[in-house]
Chain A
Amino acid sequence: MDPLILKETEDTPEIIFNPEEGIFKISKISVPEDAFQFYEPILGWLRDYEKNPNPETIVNFDLEYVNTASSKQLIQIMLLLEKIAMKSKVTIKWFYEAIDEDMQSLGERYNKLVKVNFEFIEV
């Protein structure tokens, strides 16, 4: 399947979903006005991927800022990963800056709500 690559903008994150190379990454900043519109194609891509996932999928969430509108879309991504985890191995790596306890607690919240293996990485 074709990879999904989106370059970062001033208010949307960089997205790299490349099954062939086994790289899945959402990074930088996510504060768009219309998060729904931005994440819809990403969710669409994941729905396709869910049909035939790699034996192992490691998704890196390495975000600096997330607005509440995006946080709701991120959990949709994770719920899809939860589905994928039912038929293959899935790990969510949640990166956060050592000083950023808010980002850490957002990750912990997701970990509580979603049945996917989480790894927390302080940077």
Chain B
Amino acid sequence: MFENNLFDKAFNLFSRVEKQDFEYVYRGYFTHNITKKILVLADTNIQKAVARSTIQKRIYYIMVEGLQNITRHQDEVDYETDKYPGIFAIQKRKKKYFVTTGNLVLNDKKASLKEKIAKINSLEKDELKKFHQEVLRTGVMSDKGGAGLGLIEMARKSGNKLVSSFELVNDEYSYFYLQTQIPTLNEDQEDEDDQDASMRRYLISIKKLHLSLNIENILLYFNGFFNQENLLSLLAIIKGRMNMSITTIRLSNVMVEMIQNIIKHGEQVDENMEGVPGIFFLSQQEENFMLTSGNFIKQGPKEVIEKRLQFVNGMTNEELSEYYDQILLDFELGDSKRTGLGFSDLRIKSGRPLVYHFHPVEDNNYFYILQTEVTNKKK
């Protein structure tokens, strides 16, 4: 019943990230409020993974600069951002963090941006410091609100070269990608990743990801460990993203149920990590929003869940409502783990059968994908 194509996409997205790593992407309009929530979400996940607070601070700082770059460019090209929304990504890959921004810029800004980045990348650590002071004093580099300083600071804080790329959109605009790589260990500075080609590999990977997000119109994508903290940040981002409407409320409610479902029933896999690995994304096709979750599950729970989904999908709306009342009053079920209401609630809010798929993976486990659709309703 699950469209194979969509399933493959969800599983492919999930498989991008290895154990212990995570990646999070926001795509759309950036407001001050959303920027704040993105920082909270990213910071929570970094805290979990990095013990060293200086590195955490550096990553945070780079994220702030990156997000400010997006909003600044967004203002310049405001009337086009609906069609070509900005993107912010934070990824952890092994011992490194990657902060990537992508946004529309005017074609005639390209040359000066390229020049700035080339200049910054040509300087060694001490020279960069001197250059920073010089720009601070004279302000020569920047043509708008310190953009040049932001770039210098990102390079300084990361201790790495900036990686950038432009994709031509039309006569007027290009998409500008900027990636900062932050090693969590100093020794990493010696490894092969510092090779120019290797550094670019990661930017190419995120450009590919961006392409899939564009095709599916995915607005929010989280791939990593799910816990209540992450859920609350994602919830705040959804709330901040849209005007208060029944659709926003419904999306928030559905997201809470789906992610708490992952947290409660998903396979933890790694006991050292505070959460359950999985994927969640929100996509939009015209007036329909699709919320998709994916996580590992064992054979036993798989059978239980499959039966419940079949049961809930098989009911008429009236039957479903009666069943809901019955479960609401069934306190035998009401322990802290299970309420028995989750799927019924999703089905009621969605107004149509739930879409799911269990994909066999190694060791008798399954990768379980669930999709709930919410129609944008104007009231």
Contact = CB atoms under 8 A, between A and B. Distances in A.
A100 B325 contact: no
B379 A35 contact: no
Given A36-B336, A72-B328, A72-B339, 16 more contacts: A31-B231, A31-B232, A33-B228, A34-B336, A65-B252, A65-B253, A68-B257, A68-B342, A69-B339, A71-B339, A72-B334, A72-B341, A99-B244, A99-B249, A102-B246, A102-B349
A114 to B, nearest CB: 10
Given A10-B232, A99-B244, A33 B325 contact: no
Contacts of A32: 228
Nearest to B264: A33
Nearest to B343: A68
Contacts of B250: 102
B334 A109 contact: no
A112 B336 contact: no
Query: Looking at chain B's contact residues, is the secondary structure mostly helix, strand, loop, or mixed?
Result: helix
A34 B227 CA distance: 12
Contacts of A102: 246, 249-250, 253, 349
A67 interface: yes
A72 B257 CA distance: 14
A9 to B, nearest CB: 10
A32 B231 CA distance: 10
A67 B260 contact: yes
Q: Which interface class (under 10, 10 to 19, 20 to 34, 35 or more) fits B?
A: 20 to 34
A71 B256 contact: no
Interface in A63-116: 65-69, 71-73, 75-76, 97, 99-103, 109, 112-113
B325 to A, nearest CB: 6
Interface string B150-189: 0000000000000000000000000000000000000000
B314 to A, nearest CB: 20
A68 B339 contact: yes
Interface in B219-265: 228, 231-232, 235, 244-246, 249-250, 252-253, 256-257, 260, 263-264
B329 interface: yes
Contacts of B339: 35, 68-69, 71-72
Interface of A: 10-11, 31-37, 65-69, 71-73, 75-76, 97, 99-103, 109, 112-113
Nearest to B336: A36
B246 A109 contact: no
B336 A35 contact: yes
A96 to B, nearest CB: 10
Contacts of A66: 253
B345 interface: yes
B324 interface: yes
Contacts of B379: 99, 101
Contacts of B79: none
A10 B339 CA distance: 21
B122 to A, nearest CB: 46
Contacts of A71: 328, 339, 341
Contacts of A99: 244-246, 249, 379
A62 to B, nearest CB: 15
A22 B249 CA distance: 31
Nearest to A9: B232
A42 B235 CA distance: 26
B79 to A, nearest CB: 29
A69 to B, nearest CB: 5
B196 interface: no
B336, B341, B349 — which one has the most chain A CB atoms within 10 A of its CB? Answer: B336
Interface in B343-373: 345, 349
